Amino acid sequence: MPTARRTKVAVIQLTSGPDLEANLRVVERLVRAAAADGASLVVLPECFALLAPDDAKLAVAEPLPGGGPVLERCAALARETQAELVLGGFWETASDARHVRNSCVHLAADGSVRAVYRKVHLFDVDLPDGTKLTESDSVERGSELVTTDTAFGRLGLSVCYDLRFPELYRGLVDQGAIALAVPAAFTLTTGKDHWHVLLRARAIESQSYVLAAAQTGRHFGSRVSYGHALIADPWGTVLAECGEGEGYAAAWVDPEVVARVRASLPSLAHRRLG
């Protein structure tokens, strides 16, 4: 990779639902807008192409790295805009016909697959508002940490519920990450209390940028996401954040800022446990 440089990035906020074509049209519109605004890397949220009941995502899952219609369309978008894309939650075929993988895919600006991370922590919960989600019923768990090279340096990949497990991000930093992609579909119930706190905590303790794309609003049935896609710097300051509805937030990732923060407050170097 060439020398890391200051790079403008964007995180997308969507209200994806069961209509694949409608979702992809919104993705294309917002990625084009972010690229026109100068972003050379754009992060899409979890479930960007489809947020629907389990049988629907099984039907649209594609193998990686070869892909199918959804991956081909995203690759064409990367080539058109000359922007790297992080496909935040791509439905990938799994090792059996009853499951998919919830995968975070880094596409280069030429549309090629640079890296694939399969979600390690699956969201199996009963929330106080009556929401019951059992992701493991239809998603095959991943097992490996993944980092990938970008123009600004090393990017660590994750998906949504991973955000609650700081050891994953410490592992990504140990692999050289200076920025962390956190594409998500955080529920409204948990998001309103935990989203900002967790993202800022991961930025501060990892002394890294956090690039958090998000789903927002009502998707189908009772499924509602919190939104507030944002970019935070290594000090935990929120640099840009989406408001209500679909859109994007953009900011600069500067490797020199990471170096200064890590030098002035060397907590990563002071670790004694783990």
Q: What is the CATH number of the domain that holds 83?
A: 3.60.110.10
Query: What pLDDT score was predicted for residue 104?
Result: 98
DSSP 136: G
Residues above pLDDT 90, as percent of the chain: 89
pLDDT in tens, 159-203: 999 999 999 999 999 999 999 999 999 999 899 999 999 999 999
Number of Cβ within a 10 Å radius of residue 208: 28
Query: What pLDDT score was predicted for residue 130?
Result: 66
DSSP lists the bridge partners of residue 19 as: none
Q: Which residue has the higher pLDDT, 128 or 77?
A: 77
Q: Are 91 and 61 in contact (CB under 8 A)?
A: yes
pTM, two decimals, is 0.95
Residue 103 lies inside a defined structural domain of this protein: yes
Query: What pLDDT score was predicted for residue 241?
Result: 98
Q: Range of 125's domain?
A: 7-264
- What is the arithmetic mean of pLDDT over 2-14? 94
Q: Are 247 and 13 in contact (CB under 8 A)?
A: yes
Pairing of strands 41-43, 7-14: parallel
- The sign of the dihedral angle between the CA atoms of 125, 126, 127, 130 is positive
Q: Are 215 and 51 in contact (CB under 8 A)?
A: yes
pLDDT in tens, 89-123: 999 999 999 999 999 999 999 999 999 999 999 98
Q: Are 177 and 212 in contact (CB under 8 A)?
A: no
Which residues does the annotation mark as catalytic? Answer: 46, 119, 160
Pairing of strands 153-157, 177-181: parallel
Residue 208 lies inside a defined structural domain of this protein: yes
How far is residue 95 CA from its own chain's centroid?
23
Cis peptide before 53 (omega within 30 of 0): no
Query: What pLDDT score was predicted for residue 1?
Result: 57
pLDDT in tens, 24-68: 999 999 999 999 999 999 999 999 999 998 889 999 999 999 999
Pairing of strands 100-107, 113-118: antiparallel
Q: Are 152 and 254 in contact (CB under 8 A)?
A: yes
Residue 243 lies inside a defined structural domain of this protein: yes
pLDDT category of residue 274 using cuts at 50, 70 and 90: confident
Tokens 């935040």: give the residue.
Answer: 88
Number of domains, the chain? 1
The rounded distance, in Å, linking the Cα atoms of 202 and 178 is: 12
Burial class, 242, CB count within 10 angstroms (exposed 0-12 / middle 13-18 / buried 19+): buried
Residue 52 lies inside a defined structural domain of this protein: yes
Q: What's the count of helices (H) and strands (E) in the chain, helices before strands?
A: 6, 16
Query: What pLDDT score was predicted for residue 60?
Result: 95
Residue 271 lies inside a defined structural domain of this protein: no
pLDDT category of residue 134 using cuts at 50, 70 and 90: confident
pLDDT in tens, 211-265: 999 999 999 888 899 999 999 999 999 999 998 899 999 999 999 999 999 999 9
Residue 12 lies inside a defined structural domain of this protein: yes
Quote the mean pLDDT of the chain: 95
- What is the arithmetic mean of pLDDT over 67-72? 98
Residue 26 lies inside a defined structural domain of this protein: yes
Q: Are 158 and 180 in contact (CB under 8 A)?
A: yes
Residue 2 lies inside a defined structural domain of this protein: no
> Three-state SS for 127?
coil
